[in-house]
Amino acid sequence: MSGIHFGSDLFDEFARVQRQVANLLGERPSGIRAVRPGAFPALNVGATDGAIEIVAFAPGMAAADFDVSIDKDLLTISGERKPAARSEGDDLRTYAQERFHGAFRRVVELPRDADPDQVSARYENGCLLIRVGRREASKPRAITVQ
């Protein structure tokens, strides 16, 4: 066993091997809400009475790097994250790389009351903030009992 080096955390190494095997076998996460480990960008999805709010965590990008579209009840976030800049003549050999770069695509299924005509998106502080309004008829309202 003296010739085997697992790095600082044996469990991280097991997780890495498991991901590689899953990729080789073409396995996909199961379940409607399942997301493959390491999906980019990471998302938080929440709702208020007036809107559905999505936060995509994507540091190191620009607003122009994103394509956001909505079709019926599906919101799609796609784009391409460029590799980290390297100095010219840099002799750096990478041994480990955890920062994702390349094309990405995330699809969020919206509730039926989402209004595709009320969508706004802005990018600030490494986060893409998307707000989808709700249709008026679906907002909760009090009914007076007579």
CATH number, span 39-82+102-138: 2.60.40.790
Peptide bond into 37 cis (omega under 30): no
- Tens of pLDDT, residue by residue over 64-78, are 999 999 998 899 999
Q: What per-residue confidence (pLDDT) applies to 87? A: 66
User: Per mean pLDDT, which range of 50-54, 133-137, 140-144 is the poorest?
Assistant: 140-144
Cα 40 to Cα 36, 87, 102, 105: the distances in Å are 9, 26, 10, 8
Instruction: Choose the most confident range, by mean pLDDT, from 32-46, 113-127, 130-144.
Output: 113-127
Cα 121 to Cα 70, 76, 125, 128: the distances in Å are 12, 12, 13, 7
Residue tagged 């073409």 (tokens)? 26
- Domain ranges for the chain: 39-82+102-138
In the chain, the percentage of residues whose pLDDT exceeds 70 is 74
Q: What per-residue confidence (pLDDT) applies to 40? A: 86
Distance, CA of 56 to CA of 47 (rounded, Å): 15
- Tens of pLDDT, residue by residue over 8-38, are 566 667 677 777 776 676 655 444 444 565 6
Are residues 45 and 108 in contact, defined by beta-carbon separation less than 8 angstroms? yes
Q: CB-based contacts of 129: which residues, under 8 Å, 6+ apart?
A: 53, 54, 55, 121, 122, 123
Q: Is pLDDT above 60 for 128?
A: yes
User: Per mean pLDDT, which range of 91-95, 112-116, 128-132 is the poorest?
Assistant: 91-95
